[in-house]
Amino acid sequence: MDIRTVGVVGLGNMGLGMAATLVRKGFTVLGYDLSEGRRGAAEAAGVAFVPVLNDLLGRADALVFSLPYARDVEAVATAEGGLLARSDRKVVVIDTSTSDPGTTRRLAARLARAGHALLDAPVSGGPSGAAEGTLTMMIGGAEEDFALAEPVLRAMSARAVHVGPSGAGNIVKLVNNLLVAAHLVTTGEALRLSQAAGLSAEEAVAVVNTATGRSAVSEVMVPRWVVPGTFDSGFAAGLMRKDVRLALELAEESGVDLPLSAHVGRIWREAAEAIPDTADFTRMADYRHP
């Protein structure tokens, strides 16, 4: 089944970038967002803004969700008179949100009963990767659904990896973001140590990035957003707190004790006053302030 029209639900920093990329790659793209204020940016990118959610759900050959929470994904996918009411074709939902595997599996089963499919397809690469079509996507779901959605996935990403059945993509993303959350804490502390001991953070990180202590935080985030003090990566601290919470909940459900990760979770929670949910998540690596 050809996919020519893609509906993108959620036109924030990530969703609008993905929608614009799909337009450039030749798809007809419909966009929906709760905020009518996103219409101008969407239309400037060649996205047809659809003000009524069910209109978009009823017209798209495939759907891309970019939403903050699992409850938002479930509410959109099961909206009365929306996707579940369609019987004209199989629609694959590509959920790029970071969700929990349990919710994903339950929702995938419900969509399957209605003749549709859900791929959990969280992404790495940030707003710039979404806008440039260079995301890494980690995808859970049935192989046949991955194959059906592959043209859309390929258009949005530099690498789209089918990691396993439903929920597998969420697991990989939570593992990834748990590491990022820890790296932000440890990198910020290490650079604070360097400053206090008499070597500038800039000089220290330049060497670290040629040695074994490097990470995406030290190689990309610190030079781009922390050292200049711009803290404008486009990813909110509140979303990282949510991802860390989901990862630790998954650890508890899986019967795994993660003492260091649990401490990282406490650090992120206790920093909420200094680094509120609306702040950029890279502020956690700010070596200038304790």
Ranges of each domain in the chain: 5-165, 171-285
Residue with tokens 């192989």: 143
Active site residues: 173
- CA-based angle 220:226:229, to the nearest 5? 140
Which of 38-41's residues contact partners 24+ apart within 8 Å by CB, and which partners? Answer: 38/11, 38/12, 41/11, 41/16
5-165 topology per CATH:
Rossmann fold (3.40.50)
Give residues with Cβ within 8 angstroms of 91, minimum separation 6.
Answer: 60, 61, 62, 63, 83, 116, 117
Which CATH architecture group holds 171-285? Orthogonal Bundle (1.10)
Q: What is the SS3 assignment for 74? A: helix
Answering whether pTM is above 0.85, one says yes
Distance CA 249, CA 54 (A): 33
Nearest one of 217, 197, 210, 188 to 289, comparing CA atoms: 188
Its sign, for the CA torsion 129, 130, 133, 135, is positive
Distance CA 230, CA 232 (A): 5
Distance CA 171, CA 175 (A): 6
Nearest one of 5, 22, 271, 225 to 126, comparing CA atoms: 225
Per-residue pLDDT tens digits of the chain, which is 290 residues long: 799 999 999 999 899 999 999 999 999 999 999 999 999 999 999 999 999 999 999 999 999 999 998 999 999 999 999 999 999 999 999 999 999 999 999 999 999 999 999 999 999 999 999 999 999 999 999 999 999 999 999 999 999 999 999 999 999 999 999 999 999 999 999 999 999 999 999 999 999 999 999 999 999 999 999 999 999 999 999 999 999 999 999 999 999 999 999 999 999 999 999 999 999 999 999 999 87
**100 and 128 Cβ atoms separated by less than 8 Å:** no
